[in-house]
Each structure stands twice: as C-alpha cells, then as structure tokens.
C-alpha cells in the first residue's frame, strides 16, 4: 500500500522538533539504502498503520501511505545504525535516539507519538521482527550509539531554576492542573487545582493537615493562606524544602506551614487531613498498603484525605525510556492497585475523579513554555537534554491523549463521616 | 459498670417495633432468670458497650449502664431459649428471633442496630463465649424456635403490590435515591437520581442504551422520555417485565423502550451506553470479569457506561440473616473487587461517587412509608413478614450509617473518549 514518494509539509506544522540534525553533528547521509533496509522500513511503517505519518531515511528516501490526507509528522532516521537499534527495542531506544538526534521528528511530535501509542502491537511485533533478522543485519545494531549513554539528569537533581522556566511561577506545581474552563491559563488552572483539592477536603480554619510529598510547597501555602489551616509538609528533596521554607517565611506563613525534609514514612503526629499530590507515582506498588498504614496512623478519627496520582486503566509497566532516563522507579498504578492504600485500613472512598484531559492540557501548556525557553535550557544543560525533555513532555501528552495514562484524585475518609457534604455541588459554585 | 435497674422510656421513641409480643403469641414470662443467665447477659451487654441501650429479660429484669443519658432503645428477650440461641450466632439468629417476636426492640430500631454495627468484635466474641458455655447451657439452645423456619418470601417473588406500598409510585425505584437537597421527598429524590445518572452518561438524542437489570423499568422510561434515546432493558423477573412493558405501552414509549426477559449475560447487539443500577449486588464476585466481558462485547467504540451498586470499604461477607432470609446470594463488593469489571477490558474509570448518605435517607423514607402501610403488609402476608422486613430496612439504615455499607456509582468509558466533559459541573447546574 505504501510507496516511496516525496511529501511536502507546511512549515507551520514543523514548529516542534525543529532542532536540525546538523546542529547535533549527525550527518544526513549515512551510506546507501539497501533493499533489506527498505523491506524493514515497510514492515515498520505497516505496523504503525497511519497515513498521516511519513518516514524518511538518511538518503532522503521517503515512505508514506498515499497522496491524500494531511501529514501530521515526518520521522527522519538519520543513519542505518539508528534504524536497527530502534528495531531492537523501540520503547526504550526511540527516546535515546531522538535525544541524540539520530532520529528526528518534523511536525507535531506529540501527534506522532500518539500514533505509536495507538499501535500497541507495534513494539512487541517489531522486537520479534528484529529477532528473526539475519545475524548480519542484527549485528549492525550499534552497541553504543553516540550520545545514548548521555546521562540525563534525574528530575530532582536538576534544580529549581530549570522548572521555573516552564512551571507556573507562583505555586510551582509540577502536577496536573485543573481547568474548570478550558481557556484558562496554566497559572489560573494551577490555582484552580489547589482550590479544587481544598474544597474536596472541606478544610476548616484551625484544622491540621499533613502533606506527603510537597514539591515546592505551593499547596501548603495556599491552604494556610486561604483556609486558615496548619500544614506540615514532608519531602525528601533538599532543594525543594529550602525553596518552600524561604517562600513561606517571605510570605509571613512560617507560623502556619512547616516543611520537613524527611520521608513520608516518618510522618509523626495526628492530623485532621492527609494530602498527597503527585507522590504516589514514586511510592512503588509493593508499598501501597504500608502507605495506607502511615495514613491510618496519622489521621484523627474525624480524618479525611486526598491522593492525587497519575494512573492507568489497567496495570502496565512504565514506558522503558521514561523509566530509565527521566523517572527511575516511577510506576503509575491502576485504581485496583490504589485500593491497597485504602481497603486494608477500612477507609471510605468518597469520590474518584479522573482528570486525564486536564493533564493533556497542562502538558501542552508546559511544552509551550518549555519551547519558548528552549535556549535557556540548552544554555543550562545541552542539546541532548533539551531534546530528551521535549520528548518526555510530548510523549506524556500522547500518553494522556490516547488513554495510556490517567489522572486519579481519590478523596477518602474514616468510615461513617456522616457530617461531610452529601453531594459534590460545593465544588462547582463560585 | 452496668447494673440491673428499671428505665422509663418515653412513648414517643417507641414508634418502631411496637408490635407487641403478645400479638405474636409469645409469652412475656418464660421461667425464672438464673445467675448464669444474668452473667451471660452482662457479658453481652458489655460487648455492646453503649449506655443508650437497655436489655430486658423475660421476667422484666433490666440491664442498663447508668441513670444518666438518654435511652435510644430497649431490647427485650422474651424467653430463655431466645437468649441462648442468639448467643450461638447473633448475626444470623437475631433476625429470625426478631421476626418471630422472641426478641423485641422498643424505641429506635435502626439506632439499636447501629450500636450492634459499631461493636464489630461482638459477634465473634459472643460466638466464642457460647462455645465455652457448659454443655447443659448450650443444650438449652432450641433447635427449632417457633417461627424461625418461617419461609420469608424472597424479594422478587413477592409481587408488585407489596413494593408499590412503600417505593415511589411513579418510577418504582428499589435502589438508592439522590438528594441534591436534603429536604426532598422520596419521589423527588428518585427522579433526581434518574436525572443524575442520565447527566453522568451524557445521553444524546437517538443514541442506544442497554440496561442490565431494570427493575420495574423506570430508568428506561425516563431516559426515553427526557433524553430521546432508545433503551433495551434486560431483567429475569417476569412480573417486573410485564409491569414495565405495560407502563411503557400506556405512556406511548413502546417504540423507544424494549424490555427483554433474559439474563444480562445474553445481551445482544451494540450500544452507545451500558447502564446497570442495583444489579451488581446479585452478580457474585466471581463473575465480575465476565460481566465486564459482556459490557465490552455490547459497547460501541464511543461507548460509556455506569454501574451503581451497594458496596463496601473492604471485602466482607454479607450479613448472614439478610443473605439467608432476604437476599440469597447477594454480595456487595469493595471498589477493588469492582475493578475486576473494568480493568481486564481496559475501560477508563472516569468518576466514582459514594452516595452512602443518600441511601440512609432513602431507607428512612422507605421505612416511614412501610410503617405507614404495615397493616396492608400484614394483610398480604403475616406478622412475621412485617417484622422481618422492618428489621431489614432498619438494619440497612444502620449499615449505611455506620459505614458497613457504601453506595458506589462508577462512570466509565472506552479509553480516550476525549470528547466527554472535562469537569462534572454539568451535573450540578439547573
């Protein structure tokens, strides 16, 4: 069905991924294209099964489905080694190859990744295909592609200055925002998220809140300022604790908010409310029951809580590249898995809201700001880093758009808290 | 702490359970009370650990905690056999003994049962106590208490006329209502429930809906009339199907609504929407994945659905008496167990709402109407039946009030239904 032909793309769709291969020092011509190469690329292309994607090889040869229809993106494989390495483990190697510039994407990067997410059989089929290749072809796989070992800094070593470039400056929320109206700015939507969480928790002045994993401390400051509660927030990131404490001090909230540099498992004291926004992804599924035990230990008899986490429709491993290069140890649970936090301790789950569409929009806003500041990022780190984080943000958009990832907010309480609101209407008033 | 003394109760608190023992032909004096009897009653009373409850024995002797505080209810054990039988398996035998009139409750029956629900150790401890009794005392347990074998009709053999006495007459909803404002009548709240479900499902005119377990067909008629959809509803109760079909015919909805007398597992066709209100309790936890397979088979690619069910904070067996006498085979799942319906098939859970407080109020309304029509019920059946159903309704109030039962509405869809509303605000407008 597909044939080799040239396709013109409008410049307007090439905003993302425009960092050219030349800039990364990777040549556009890496030897002639053999018939075996062409056969492999056709198999690959057929698996993706989407005419809006075009493939281009290192010699300029192009593979696309037809003349009709609009191209969303063009994937450019800049050397033969990249092609064969990709086939060995597409989930893992695409990220490294893209970061190194050995594979490039012109057009809409997130949309191209969505096509890959929607072809769930592709990864395993490609790996099978690769295993059946003649040894001589498999042997072409480079053991060490230039740049692929480049050590991408892990999230929390990177420093506050990097995140300040693309998160909302006021609350520095590195978690899903909430868009009660879809034309909100990121800053507005992050405030709306904080407000949404506070309303769900029905905070009363003078109550005590404990927070597990507080990032840069924005939620605690919001709760203290707008709801008159006392908050103690735990976090193991030294940089974030320093930042959060300084902000609270500067804003006159030091008497109400305490940031503790410690693991959530060491939470002490008893509180009216437990809250954790975007930490569960790092807890690990074997530890959910234990985490529930921490909640049970620190929650008063009238207690309630909220856990906000990336999740899944069903259990699945983390994308290999993200897990290896961006979030080591991260695991987004299914709802069934999350229930290990609540059920052994008899908590009542009162409300589960899936905000996956809000995370897509949040990520679009982050990516937009990130691209706007790509030169800053490159000056702070390097081109590989810029490309890796671009891929991570665009890939996350694709994951939320295609349903590979979800965002669950779970509100819970001690059983028989019969004084809580009967309906959720209070979340939606002025 | 407790001592034997007389306590006066105001007549106003004795509205429920007022059917006297004399009417049931059970004497108020069944031999003298021995010291062994007294010791046992004190153990029992200590386990319940609530001063607002009083116990009275067949000879008039009373056990209560103190002079202070208000009495909520007085439990009257009308014969020694009843005391020893109760100790053998309180969860199972209390219901039979109450139904037969061998145990009576003056005052607030639901509140008395709440006290039992809040003493979760009582049942197993009492059974242990019973096993350690001297054989001669255990032997006093009657093998066949008069009336306990009385065969209480099971729910769906009872007939429409019985339910018409205390359900809302228009939609005959034998499931939890929804009270957006707490002063609503039952009739209003059942309409609000139907509307709440329809809004969650985002029904569009011309769409097709399949319903698993339709009761008397009220939801299907509401959906057809107010949302212009076509509904096919499955139910295995012949009486309900006949009633539902006649109502639809009479209301000119026969072209839009079809009631099928068949098991939900035999659903055929493809639909935009799957809905099931109050059937899951009868499905059995081993069948959840299979039920999800039925949903998967009958749901179009744009499909979404809602399952509304009584549930639990954590897995637990059904109350033995309810399971044996009222709802054979019933099992309310925990959320974790419910996820077996969704996760194996990759559905996205979009929204879980716990309406347990609404079920308490629904049951209060049902019990009020039931008591108002108790004489009708007695004329249709007999006194045992009247008392058994009173206990069932009051016991359900206690279960929802104390957190032993929950009510989950789970909204789900095929993954990546990105055209659905971003927030739930549309549920709360006019």
Closest listed residue to residue A240, CA positions, set A217, A209, A219: A217
| Strand A3-4, strand A62-64: pairing | antiparallel
pLDDT surpasses 90 at B252: yes
pLDDT at residue B318, rounded to an integer: 85
Better pLDDT: B212 or B239: B212
Q: In sequence order, what are the residues at sequence separation of 6 or more whose Cβ sits closer than 8 angstroms to the Cβ of residue B225?
A: B251, B253
pLDDT at residue A140, rounded to an integer: 43
Crossing angle for the helix pair B356-372 and B383-401, to the nearest 10 degrees: 160
Closest listed residue to residue B309, CA positions, set B386, B394, B212, B243: B212
Mean pLDDT of A124-141: 62
Give A404-426 pLDDT, tens digit per residue: 999 999 999 999 888 999 999 99
Contacts of A416 in chain B (CB under 8 A): 401-403
- Tell me the residue length of chain A: 430
Contacts of A340 in chain B (CB under 8 A): 336
**Chain B residues near any Cβ of chain A (below 8 Å):** 178-180, 182, 313-315, 334-336, 339-340, 342-344, 346-354, 356-358, 360, 401-403, 406, 415-416, 418, 420, 422-425, 427-428
Angle at A171 between CA A166 and CA A177, to 5 degrees: 70
> What are the distances in angstroms from CA A417 to CA A202, B82, B401, B403?
12, 35, 9, 8
Report DSSP state, residue A322: I
Edge-to-edge order in the sheet of strand B53-56:
B3-4, B62-64, B53-56, B73-77, B103-107
Report DSSP state, residue B159: -
Q: Which two tokens stand for residue A296?
A: 């049970």
Mean pLDDT of A208-216: 97
Percent of chain A with pLDDT over 70: 84
Contacts of A110 in chain B (CB under 8 A): none
pLDDT surpasses 90 at A69: no
Closest listed residue to residue A225, CA positions, set A262, A252, A197: A252
- Range in A100-114, A291-305, A356-370, B57-71 with the lowest mean pLDDT: B57-71
Note whether B352 contacts A348, CB cutoff 8 Å: no
Contacts of B356 in chain A (CB under 8 A): 348
Crossing angle for the helix pair A186-201 and A218-227, to the nearest 10 degrees: 60
Residue A89: half-sphere exposure toward Cβ, Cα within 13 Å: 9
pLDDT at residue A30, rounded to an integer: 58
Q: Which two tokens stand for residue A221?
A: 């400051």
B155 band by pLDDT with thresholds 50, 70 and 90: low
Mean pLDDT of A343-352: 97
- Range in A140-144, B107-111, B327-331 with the lowest mean pLDDT: A140-144
| Strand A257-261, strand B257-261: pairing | unpaired
Residue B178 to residue B358: CA distance in whole angstroms: 6
Using CA atoms of A255, A260, A265, A267 in order, give the dihedral in degrees to the nearest 10.
Answer: -20
Report DSSP state, residue A334: B
Better pLDDT: B13 or B319: B319
Asked if B255 and B264 count as a contact pair (C-beta separation under 8 A), the reply is: no
| Strand A230-235, strand A53-56: pairing | unpaired
Closest listed residue to residue A198, CA positions, set A221, A168, A182, A179: A221
A123 band by pLDDT with thresholds 50, 70 and 90: low
pLDDT at residue B120, rounded to an integer: 63
Beta bridge partners of B212: B234
Give B51-80 pLDDT, tens digit per residue: 889 999 999 999 987 666 788 999 999 999
Chain A interface test: which of B335, B344, B351, B429 (most A C-beta within 10 Å): B335
A154 band by pLDDT with thresholds 50, 70 and 90: low
**Domain boundaries in chain A?**
3-148, 156-427
> What are the distances in angstroms from CA A98 to CA A103, A398, B310?
5, 16, 50
The residue ranges of DSSP E strands in A43-153, in sequence order, are 53-56, 62-64, 73-77, 103-107
Chain A interface test: which of B354, B414, B417 (most A C-beta within 10 Å): B354
pLDDT at residue A50, rounded to an integer: 84
Closest listed residue to residue A294, CA positions, set A223, A222, A234, A381: A234
Asked if B65 and B51 count as a contact pair (C-beta separation under 8 A), the reply is: yes
Residue B322 to residue A370: CA distance in whole angstroms: 60
Asked if B344 and A314 count as a contact pair (C-beta separation under 8 A), the reply is: yes
Note whether B339 contacts A335, CB cutoff 8 Å: yes
Contacts of A344 in chain B (CB under 8 A): 314
pLDDT surpasses 70 at A12: no
pLDDT at residue A122, rounded to an integer: 63
Residue A273 to residue A268: CA distance in whole angstroms: 13
First-to-last alpha carbon distance for chain B, in angstroms, is: 55
| Strand B271-277, strand B406-413: pairing | unpaired
Shortest CA gap A263–chain B (Å): 27
Residue B377 to residue B44: CA distance in whole angstroms: 33
Closest listed residue to residue A275, CA positions, set A231, A226, A210: A210
Asked if A355 and A175 count as a contact pair (C-beta separation under 8 A), the reply is: no
Contacts of A424 in chain B (CB under 8 A): 353, 424, 427-428
pLDDT at residue A190, rounded to an integer: 98
pLDDT surpasses 70 at B401: yes
pLDDT at residue B135, rounded to an integer: 62
Q: Which two tokens stand for residue A117?
A: 């997410």
pLDDT at residue B66, rounded to an integer: 67
- Tell the burial category of A324 from Cβ atoms under 10 Å away from its Cβ (0-12, 13-18, 19+): middle
| Strand B53-56, strand B73-77: pairing | parallel
Mean pLDDT of B141-154: 40
Q: In sequence order, what are the residues at sequence separation of 6 or more whose Cβ sits closer than 8 angstroms to the Cβ of residue B13?
A: B71, B72, B73, B106, B107, B108
Q: Choose the closest CB to A180 out of B418, B425, B427.
A: B425
Q: Choose the closest CB to A343 out of B334, B342, B423.
A: B334
pLDDT at residue B327, rounded to an integer: 83
Chain B interface test: which of A306, A422, A427, A430 (most B C-beta within 10 Å): A422
Using CA atoms of A125, A113, A86, A314 in order, give the dihedral in degrees to the nearest 10.
Answer: -50
Residue A230 to residue A212: CA distance in whole angstroms: 14
Q: In sequence order, what are the residues at sequence separation of 6 or more whose Cβ sits closer than 8 angstroms to the Cβ of residue A343?
A: B313, B314, B315, B334, B335, B336
pLDDT at residue B157, rounded to an integer: 56
Q: How many beta carbons lie within 10 A of that of residue A429, not counting itself? A: 8
Residue pairs between chains A and B whose CB atoms are closer than 8 Å? 117
Closest listed residue to residue A102, CA positions, set A388, A397, A389, A399: A388
Residue A385 to residue A398: CA distance in whole angstroms: 20
For the stretch B237-246, contacts whose Cβ atoms lie closer than 8 Å and that sit 24 or more positions apart, written own/partner, are B237/B156, B237/B261, B239/B156, B239/B159, B239/B160, B240/B156, B240/B160, B240/B214, B240/B215, B240/B216, B241/B217, B243/B160, B243/B172, B243/B216, B243/B217, B244/B214, B244/B215, B244/B216, B244/B217, B244/B220, B245/B217
Shortest CA gap B412–chain A (Å): 10
Give B332-346 pLDDT, tens digit per residue: 999 999 999 999 999
pLDDT at residue B122, rounded to an integer: 63
DSSP H helices in B346-382: 356-372, 374-380
- Range in A336-340, A385-389, B101-105, B128-132 with the lowest mean pLDDT: B128-132
Note whether B347 contacts A180, CB cutoff 8 Å: no
Percent of chain B with pLDDT over 70: 84
The backbone region for B329, taken as left when phi is positive above 0, alpha when psi lies in -120 to 50, beta otherwise, is left
- SS3 readout for B266-277: HCCCCEEEEEEE
Q: Choose the closest CB to B313 out of A347, A424, A427.
A: A347
pLDDT at residue B299, rounded to an integer: 97
Note whether A422 contacts B354, CB cutoff 8 Å: no
Residue B317 to residue B327: CA distance in whole angstroms: 13
Contacts of A333 in chain B (CB under 8 A): none
pLDDT, averaged across chain B: 86
Beta bridge partners of A412: A305, A349
Residue A372 to residue A358: CA distance in whole angstroms: 21
Q: Choose the closest CB to B401 out of A342, A348, A416.
A: A416
Q: What CATH number does the domain located at B3-148 have?
A: 3.30.1050
pLDDT at residue B117, rounded to an integer: 85
Contacts of B358 in chain A (CB under 8 A): 422
- Tell the burial category of B380 from Cβ atoms under 10 Å away from its Cβ (0-12, 13-18, 19+): middle
Q: Choose the closest CB to B425 out of A336, A346, A428.
A: A428
- Tell the burial category of B164 from Cβ atoms under 10 Å away from its Cβ (0-12, 13-18, 19+): middle
pLDDT at residue A150, rounded to an integer: 39
| Strand B271-277, strand B208-212: pairing | parallel
Q: Which two tokens stand for residue A275?
A: 């809250």
Give B89-130 pLDDT, tens digit per residue: 888 899 999 999 999 999 999 999 998 888 766 666 776 776
Beta bridge partners of B275: B211, B306
Shortest CA gap A336–chain B (Å): 5
Shortest CA gap B155–chain A (Å): 28
The CATH topology of domain A156-427 is: Rossmann fold (3.40.50)
A127 band by pLDDT with thresholds 50, 70 and 90: low
CA of A338: which chain B residue's CA is closest? B336
What is the tally of helices (H) and strands (E) in chain A? 16, 12
pLDDT at residue A158, rounded to an integer: 74
Which phi and psi angles does B307 have, rounded to 5°?
A: -120, 130
Note whether B415 contacts A402, CB cutoff 8 Å: yes
């Amino acid at each position: 069905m597909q044939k080799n032909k040239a396709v013109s793309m409008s410049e307007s769709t090439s905003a993302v991924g425009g960092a050219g291969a030349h800039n990364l020092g990777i040549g556009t011509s890496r030897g002639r294209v053999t018939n075996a190469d062409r056969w492999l690329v056709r198999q690959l292309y057929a698996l993706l099964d989407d005419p809006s994607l075009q493939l281009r090889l290192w010699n300029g040869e192009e593979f696309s489905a037809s003349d009709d229809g609009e191209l969303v993106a063009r994937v450019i494989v800049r050397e033969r080694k990249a092609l064969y390495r990709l086939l060995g483990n597409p989930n893992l190697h695409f990220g490294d190859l893209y970061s190194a510039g050995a594979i490039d994407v012109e057009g809409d990067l997130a949309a191209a990744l969505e096509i890959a997410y929607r072809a769930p059989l592709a990864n395993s089929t490609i790996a099978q295909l690769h295993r059946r290749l003649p040894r001589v072809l498999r042997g072409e796989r480079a053991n060490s592609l230039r740049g692929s070992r480049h050590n991408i800094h892990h999230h929390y070593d990177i420093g506050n200055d990097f995140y300040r470039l693309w998160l909302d400056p006021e609350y520095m929320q590195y978690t899903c925002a909430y868009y009660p109206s879809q034309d909100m700015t990121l800053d507005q939507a992050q405030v709306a998220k904080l407000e949404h969480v506070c309303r769900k928790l029905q905070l009363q002045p003078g109550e005590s809140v404990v927070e597990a994993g507080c990032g840069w401390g924005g939620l605690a400051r919001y709760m203290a300022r707008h709801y008159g509660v006392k908050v103690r927030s735990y976090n193991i990131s030294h940089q974030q604790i320093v930042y959060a404490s300084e902000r609270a001090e500067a804003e006159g909230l030091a008497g109400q908010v305490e940031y503790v540099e410690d693991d959530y498992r060491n939470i002490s004291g008893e509180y009216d409310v437990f809250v954790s926004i975007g930490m569960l992804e790092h807890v690990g599924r074997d530890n959910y029951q234990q985490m529930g035990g921490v909640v049970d230990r620190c929650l008063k008899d009238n207690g309630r809580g909220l856990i906000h986490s990336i999740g899944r429709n069903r259990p699945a491993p983390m994308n290999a590249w993200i897990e290896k290069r961006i979030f080591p140890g991260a695991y987004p649970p299914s709802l069934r898995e999350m229930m290990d936090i609540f059920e052994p301790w008899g908590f009542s789950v009162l409300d589960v809201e899936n905000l996956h569409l809000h995370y897509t929009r949040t990520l679009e806003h982050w990516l937009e700001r990130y691209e706007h500041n790509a030169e800053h990022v490159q000056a702070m780190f390097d081109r590989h880093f810029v490309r890796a984080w671009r891929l991570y943000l665009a890939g996350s958009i694709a994951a939320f758009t295609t349903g590979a990832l979800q965002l669950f907010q779970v509100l819970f309480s001690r059983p028989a808290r019969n004084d809580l609101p009967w309906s959720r209407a209070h979340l939606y008033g002025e």
